[in-house]
Structure 1
C-alpha cells in the first residue's frame, strides 16, 4: 500500500505545474488509461501535454504487498528527457535510470578487507552492532 501511495505522490509531483518566468505553465492530461481487476492486479498510464508520461502495472506480491513495475519520463530544462524504470516489490523500490548517480568502485584495499571479512564469516566469526568481534 505504501508503494502505491509513493507512486501516486511521485506522479503528482512530476505533473505539478512548472513555473518559468512570470507565468505558470499548465499541463493537460492528453491520454489516460486505468484498469483495476479488484484482485490486486491493475494497470494505469497517462501522458500530459508538457511531455510527462507514466505507466505502471501492479500485481499481488508473495508477502501480501502490491508489486509494481513501471516507468515514467519527463522533459528536463536542458532539452533531454529523464527516463526512469522501476520495480517495487518485497525487495523495495528499485529504480533504474542514467540520471541516478553510481558510486565509484571500491579502492583495492577495501576489496581486500571485504575478502578478509568474508573469509572470517565463513569460519564462523561474528560481530556485535558496535563492530567488535564477539567470538
Structure 2
C-alpha cells in the first residue's frame, strides 16, 4: 500500500512540475479531495496548462488501497498523453498508447495454437 501511495504522489509531483515558462504561470483550476473516513477516497486535479489527474480509491482485501484513475503527461510535441491505471492486489497496471505492446503473433503461430487446441480436445497428450 505504501508503494502505491508513494508512486501516486511521485506521479502527481512529476505531472505538476513546471515544464516551460507557460507552465510556471499555470493556475490550479480544480483541486477536489474527498476522504470518506472508511478508507475510500477520491481526488481530482486540473491546471490551466492542461495537466489533469483523477483517482478514486477503496480499501483492498489485503489491507492495501485499491485505486483507479488517470493522469495526463505532457508530450514534447505539445499535446498530452492519457495514462489510465488500476492499482490493486495485482500491482500497478497502466494502460496508454504510449506504452509498448508486444508484436502480433505471426499467422503460423496462430495455426499451431489451433492445432494444439484441437489435439487437446481429442485427448492427445505429449510427455
Q: Within 5 A, what are the aligned runs for 1:1-135? A: 1=1, 2-19=3-20, 23=21, 25-26=23-24, 27-106=26-105, 108=108
Question: Unpaired runs of 5+ in structure 1?
Answer: 126-135
Once the two structures are superposed, residues 14-48 of structure 1 have per-residue CA deviations (whole angstroms, 9 ceiling, x without a partner) of 110114xxx57313211110001121100001001
Alpha carbons 1:57, 1:68 under 8 Å: kept: yes
Q: Where in structure 1 do 4 or more consecutive aligned residues deviate above 4 Å?
A: 106-109
Q: Secondary structure at the match of 2:10?
A: helix
Q: Secondary structure at the match of 2:34?
A: strand
Alpha carbons 2:29, 2:46 under 8 Å: kept: yes
| Mapped partners of 1:79, 1:18: distance in 2 | 11
TM-score normalised by L of structure 1: 0.72
Alpha carbons 1:14, 1:74 under 8 Å: kept: yes
Alpha carbons 1:51, 1:74 under 8 Å: kept: no
Q: Secondary structure at the match of 2:87?
A: strand
Q: Which shifted more, 88-97 or 24-33?
A: 24-33
| Mapped partners of 1:24, 1:33: distance in 2 | 23
Query: Bigger relative contact order, structure 1 or 2, given CA contacts below 8 A and separation 6+?
Result: 2
Aligned residues: 116
Alpha carbons 2:59, 2:65 under 8 Å: kept: yes
Q: Secondary structure at the match of 1:18?
A: coil
CA deviation after TM superposition for structure 1 residue 77, in Å: 2.8
Question: Unpaired runs of 5+ in structure 2?
Answer: none
